Amino acid sequence: MIFTSCISIIGRSNASKVVSRSCEQKTAIYKQSASAACNKIQPHNNICENNVWLYYFLLTNTHYFVIIKCVEVESEVTVMSENEKIKDLMTKTTDGIVTTKQVTESGIHRSALKEMVDIGELYRYARGLYLSKDAWEDDFYLLQKKYGRGIFSHDTALYLLGYSDRTPAKYTMTFPKGYNAPSLKQESIIVKRVIPENYSFGIIEMQSYCGHSINVYDLERTLCDILRGSGSDIQIVNAAMKKYAASKEKNIHKLMQYAEILRVKPKVQRYMEVLL
């Protein structure tokens, strides 16, 4: 596409209305006035199309005129394909993940996502959640993105907090009662549910092993959780309680507060009496 670049020089005049004329005509009109305005010249760049420049000028009650020199230049307008738009969108993320919501909000048709999956540029991790072929697959982070209300808990939280060296065969996430995403039944995770008042306390944000932010229950909450009910290996429980008792960062007051809320205070007390 051809545009005409108009390089203008601004000087003082009595002109006060909008004018649209060819660049050649405008130059001729103000040619005689150019020398008189040289001591007040300021650079001013514009783009005019088809050699016609539309302008107006009024600044602090002083009118200005413009001397114009027109130069034709070529400029290519590149139209990005839908796939290129998605790639551009993904360059603005740090995790290599794009969602259907992000795509549609950017004005991109969601069918482009399927095309990119078909050609191997994207991997469909879950409904509405796509991963770049070059991105590192962080299971903790992907589960967090998929289930925003899920909190890593129990044995999984112990592992993430460095209180267990046993990699969980299945990750455990806790949800508030009433939350029932259909895909949870097909997910290979252990699902725990708690009443809403016991859901929100003790949540912390930490980095996964790949450096992504995930939500985990803190250590005191996790120790209380693994003492509730069944499912946790007794060896893992004993090792975690011993390590906590020996830690300089332990917070016995908070541990006992949590234990009372979660109704495991007698169990926690027995451990602490033996280990402290």
Q: Is the pLDDT of residue 14 over 80?
A: no
The better pLDDT of the pair 251, 110 is held by 251
Q: Is the pLDDT of residue 26 over 60?
A: no
Residue 77: CB partners within 8 Å, gap ≥ 6? Answer: 1
Summarize the confidence of residues 51-80 as an average pLDDT. Answer: 43
**pTM (2 decimals)?**
0.66
Name the band, by pLDDT with cuts 50, 70 and 90, for residue 136: confident
Q: Which of 38-52, 55-69, 143-157 has the highest mean pLDDT?
A: 143-157
166-209 tens-digit pLDDT? 999 999 999 999 998 888 888 899 999 999 999 999 999 999 99
Residue 153: CB partners within 8 Å, gap ≥ 6? Answer: 172, 173, 174, 192, 216, 217, 221, 222, 225
21-25, 105-109, 132-136, 156-160: least confidently modelled range: 21-25
28-37, 130-139, 188-197: least confidently modelled range: 28-37
Name the band, by pLDDT with cuts 50, 70 and 90, for residue 8: very low
R_g (Cα) of the chain, nearest Å = 33
Which helix or strand (DSSP H or E) is residue 234 part of?
helix 234-246
Say if residues 185 and 157 touch (Cβ distance below 8 Å).
Answer: no
Q: Which of 18-22, 35-39, 137-141 has the highest mean pLDDT?
A: 137-141
pLDDT of residue 90: 83
Residue among 157, 123, 160 at smallest CA distance from 142: 123
Q: In the CATH scheme, what architecture does the domain 82-137 have?
A: Orthogonal Bundle (1.10)
Summarize the confidence of residues 247-263 as an average pLDDT. Answer: 97
The better pLDDT of the pair 30, 226 is held by 226
Residue 165 tokens read as 């060296």
Say if residues 66 and 8 touch (Cβ distance below 8 Å).
Answer: yes
Summarize the confidence of residues 11-36 as an average pLDDT. Answer: 38
Say if residues 150 and 156 touch (Cβ distance below 8 Å).
Answer: no
Summarize the confidence of residues 158-171 as an average pLDDT. Answer: 95
The better pLDDT of the pair 52, 260 is held by 260
Q: Give residue limits of the domains in the chain.
A: 2-74, 82-137, 147-275
Percent of the chain with pLDDT over 90: 50
Q: What is the spatial distance between Cα 200 and Cα 142, in angstroms, rounded to a whole number?
A: 21
Q: Is the pLDDT of residue 152 over 80?
A: yes
Mean pLDDT of the chain: 77
The 8-class DSSP code of residue 228 comes to S
Name the band, by pLDDT with cuts 50, 70 and 90, for residue 31: very low
69-83, 200-214, 245-259: least confidently modelled range: 69-83
Summarize the confidence of residues 115-144 as an average pLDDT. Answer: 90
